[in-house]
Amino acid sequence: MAHPKHRISQTRQAKRRTHYKIEAPNVATCPTTGQPHLFHRAHWHEDKLYYKGKVLMEKNSAKED
């Protein structure tokens, strides 16, 4: 019977035995802007922050004195 020459670490052993795979993130399309974004995340489009198709806030491009 074959015996390993060196001990295999628990981390390396777990990596070999795992069945978890990397999954692509779920991407949604905003109904208002049509831009792709991650589910349940707000996203910026043309200096406006959108969430669920509604504007949450606008970015101030010019500072007021």
| Digit-coded pLDDT (tens) for 24-59 | 889 999 888 899 999 999 999 999 999 988 999 998
Query: How many helices and strands (H and E) does the chain possess?
Result: 1, 5
- The residues pairing with 29 across neighbouring beta strands, listed in sequence order, are 36
pTM exceeding 0.95: no
**Residue 2 reports pLDDT greater than 70:** yes
Q: What pLDDT is attached to residue 63?
A: 61
Q: Taking the domains of the chain in order of start, what are their residue ranges?
A: 25-65
